[in-house]
């Protein structure tokens, strides 16, 4: 590094690159995808409205409709609406309603817990009507497969009440040359066991379906997740699969969006799974079967304690990205604090303070180094001017200056770099924690998993970032760099307007304590300077 200006430039670039990734990914990748998807859904909806007779009857209904009737009419036009004539068996548990269609597939799962509601106030439904559906069976023999998609299953129960105790029922599909049987056991907590068999030895595949489509955005991964017998995890994101991939020794296959997942798992007898891309290169998982197979399944929120109750390894369904090794213990700590505090908002505040205390030695070194560099700024400028035509001498005199005053040009940068993994870990924890769904904090924040409805926290976060910037020593010589750096609070505030309130709360509290630390160190240097006079 030739001079402090170069160091400052690298620090600026590093800070900007982190956030530029989010900006570029949203506007260059996700936004076009979402626009195209919305366009296709709108076309499909229009086709459905033009072809479905019940839609006409809705439009011709009396004007004086009740609010409930109007809501039902609107829901009937939803991309997640399933025609009741296609439903063979309806299962009710304490946590969801599972609808099985005439081809033995999961047509829809509706979450029943009060906190799981969409933006219109309706209970969340996990699947689109036209997506690949969980538990669909496909035969390797094309003749059998063609017939299988034309012949309806028979059921032993059209309505299954599993709210109090586990219930069993059976689906049977009788084809010309083979009979397939699905024996279900459904439990009050919403998960199921499934035994599938055929009366003849024939290869077939059963799919976990396309992922839940409730919340798929740029801020969290969504796609398909595998856990192998050796404990390694394999993530395939949406639009990232260009060819068929096959795996043996699989413990679970999970199709997921930000908060919800559809999981097939067997921790006793491993599965063989192939991933096949759809038309948009999204991953579709197919479990290989010859004659018979047994496994368990779960469709619902990626709630840590619920998954752990089913099997401890199922908590690996929750994906935290590159820094999982930090994020998982951090979430454990978060839960531990919440068990005593009882409020997720204050839990985030306490966790933030604990993190700041742990990282204080690093922060302290970085802040002290920046103050030293600020004091040396006039001398550094003199050297730059004196040797502006001889970079080698300029660099040599700069290093002598740093050595004489025990200053480290990387002192402010290195502590920041070391803190980045911790930041991203807590970022992913708060971003993926569905436990924050419906969790109130204070006054106006009624759901920490949603954006602040009045933008109070983002504005406070931006203001605190601006104040932090004001009191932080800045030795940048380039005016353009200064202007760009001064724009960061505005840019961050803009993007945080739509971030979950829990994540914005973390960043705001983090800024407040950083300001306190910086103020203390600034005062310490002021006293030293005053003592020298």
Q: Report the C-alpha gap between 334 and 349 in whole angstroms.
A: 10
* Whole-number pLDDT of residue 45: 45
Q: What is the DSSP letter of 364?
A: H
- Please state the three-class secondary structure of 440-451 as a single string: CCCCCCCCCCCC
At residue 376 the predicted structure's pLDDT band, cuts being 50, 70 and 90, is: confident
| H helices present in 453-500, as ranges | 456-471, 479-496
124 with 108: CB under 8 angstroms? no
pLDDT digits (tens, 9 = 90+) for 117-165: 887 888 999 999 889 999 999 999 999 999 999 999 999 999 999 999 9
Mean pLDDT, all residues of the chain = 82
Residue 153: half-sphere exposure toward Cβ, Cα within 13 Å:
26
Domain ranges of the chain: 84-319, 328-532
Fold (CATH) for 84-319 = Beta-galactosidase; Chain A, domain 5 (2.70.98)
For range 57-82, the mean pLDDT: 47
For range 330-341, the mean pLDDT: 93
Cα three-residue angle 19-325-328, rounded to 5 degrees: 90
* Whole-number pLDDT of residue 458: 94
Task: Say which residue, 412 or 418, is predicted with more confidence.
Answer: 418
pLDDT digits (tens, 9 = 90+) for 177-236: 999 999 999 999 999 999 999 999 999 999 999 999 998 777 788 999 999 999 999 999
What count of other Cβ atoms lies within 10 Å of the Cβ of residue 37?
Answer: 13
The Cα-based distances of 232 to 250, 255, 274, 296, 328 in angstroms read 10, 17, 17, 20, 15
Ranking 97-101, 134-138, 383-387, 461-465 by mean pLDDT, the lowest is 383-387
- Residue 192, classed as helix, strand or coil, is strand
Q: Tabulate helix, strand, coil % of the chain (nearest 5).
A: 50, 20, 30
* Whole-number pLDDT of residue 8: 45
99 with 108: CB under 8 angstroms? yes
336 with 354: CB under 8 angstroms? no
pLDDT digits (tens, 9 = 90+) for 169-178: 999 999 999 9
135 with 206: CB under 8 angstroms? yes
Residues 6+ apart with CB under 8 A from 532: none
Of the ranges 7-11, 346-350, 399-403, which is most confident? 346-350
359 with 422: CB under 8 angstroms? yes
For range 369-378, the mean pLDDT: 75
The Cα-based distances of 416 to 334, 376, 384, 405 in angstroms read 23, 21, 26, 22
Percent of the chain with pLDDT over 90: 50
189 with 112: CB under 8 angstroms? no
At residue 476 the predicted structure's pLDDT band, cuts being 50, 70 and 90, is: low
Ranking 30-34, 268-272, 443-447, 476-480 by mean pLDDT, the lowest is 30-34
Q: Report the C-alpha gap between 57 and 65 in whole angstroms.
A: 13
Q: Report the C-alpha gap between 52 and 47 in whole angstroms.
A: 8
The first and second tokens of residue 506, run together, are 């973390």
Q: What is the DSSP letter of 435?
A: G
Q: Report the C-alpha gap between 302 and 317 in whole angstroms.
A: 7
Q: What is the largest CA-CA distance in the chain?
A: 100
Of the ranges 40-44, 140-144, 494-498, which is most confident? 140-144
277 with 176: CB under 8 angstroms? no
Cβ burial 336-369 (10 Å sphere, 16+ → b, else e): ebbeeeeebbebbbbbbeebbeebeebbebbbbb
């Amino acid at each position: 590094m030739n001079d402090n200006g170069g160091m400052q430039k690298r620090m600026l670039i590093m800070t900007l690159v982190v956030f530029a990734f989010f900006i570029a990914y949203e506007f260059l990748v996700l936004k076009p995808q979402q626009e195209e998807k919305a366009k296709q859904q709108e076309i499909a909806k229009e086709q459905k409205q033009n072809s479905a007779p019940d839609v006409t009857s809705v439009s011709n209904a009396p004007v004086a409709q009740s609010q409930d009737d109007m809501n039902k009419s609107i829901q009937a036009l939803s991309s997640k609406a399933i025609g009741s004539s296609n439903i063979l068996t309806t299962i009710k548990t304490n946590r969801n309603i599972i609808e099985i269609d005439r081809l033995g597939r999961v047509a829809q799962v509706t979450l029943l817990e009060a906190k799981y509601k969409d933006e219109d106030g309706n209970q969340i439904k996990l699947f689109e009507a036209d997506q690949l559906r969980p538990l669909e069976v496909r035969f390797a023999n094309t003749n059998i497969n063609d017939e299988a998609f034309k012949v309806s299953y028979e059921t032993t129960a059209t309505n299954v009440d599993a709210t109090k105790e586990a219930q069993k029922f059976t689906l049977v599909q009788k084809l010309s040359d083979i009979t397939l049987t699905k024996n279900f056991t459904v439990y009050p907590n919403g998960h199921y066991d499934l035994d599938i068999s055929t009366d003849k030895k024939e290869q077939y595949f059963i799919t976990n379906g396309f992922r839940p489509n409730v919340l798929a955005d740029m801020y969290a991964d969504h796609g398909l997740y595998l856990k192998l017998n050796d404990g390694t995890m394999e993530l395939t994101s949406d639009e990232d699969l260009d060819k068929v991939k096959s795996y043996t020794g699989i413990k679970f296959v999970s199709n997921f969006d930000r908060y919800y997942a559809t999981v097939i798992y067997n921790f006793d007898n491993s599965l063989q799974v192939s991933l096949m891309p759809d038309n948009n290169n999204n991953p579709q998982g197919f479990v290989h079967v010859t004659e018979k197979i047994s496994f368990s399944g779960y469709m619902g929120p990626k709630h840590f304690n619920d998954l752990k109750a089913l099997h401890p390894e199922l908590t690996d369904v929750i994906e935290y990205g590159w820094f999982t090794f930090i994020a998982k213990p951090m979430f454990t700590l978060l839960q531990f604090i919440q068990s005593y505090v009882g409020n997720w908002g204050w839990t985030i505040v306490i966790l933030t303070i604990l993190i700041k205390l742990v990282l204080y030695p690093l922060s302290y070194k970085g802040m002290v180094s920046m103050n030293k560099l600020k004091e040396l700024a006039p001398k550094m400028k003199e050297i730059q001017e004196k040797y502006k035509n001889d970079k080698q001498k300029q660099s040599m005199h700069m290093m002598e200056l740093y050595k004489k005053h025990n200053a480290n040009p990387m002192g402010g940068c290195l502590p920041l770099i070391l803190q980045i993994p911790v930041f991203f870990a807590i970022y992913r924890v708060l971003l993926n924690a569905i436990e924050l769904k419906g969790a109130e904090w204070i006054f106006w924040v009624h759901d920490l998993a949603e954006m602040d409805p009045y933008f109070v926290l983002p504005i406070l976060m931006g203001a605190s970032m601006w104040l932090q910037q004001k009191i932080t020593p800045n030795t940048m010589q380039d005016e353009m760099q200064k202007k760009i750096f001064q724009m960061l609070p505005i840019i961050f505030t803009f993007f945080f307007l739509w971030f979950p309130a829990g994540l914005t709360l973390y960043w705001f509290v983090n800024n407040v304590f950083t300001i306190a630390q910086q103020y203390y160190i600034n005062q310490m240097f002021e006293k030293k300077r005053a003592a020298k006079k």
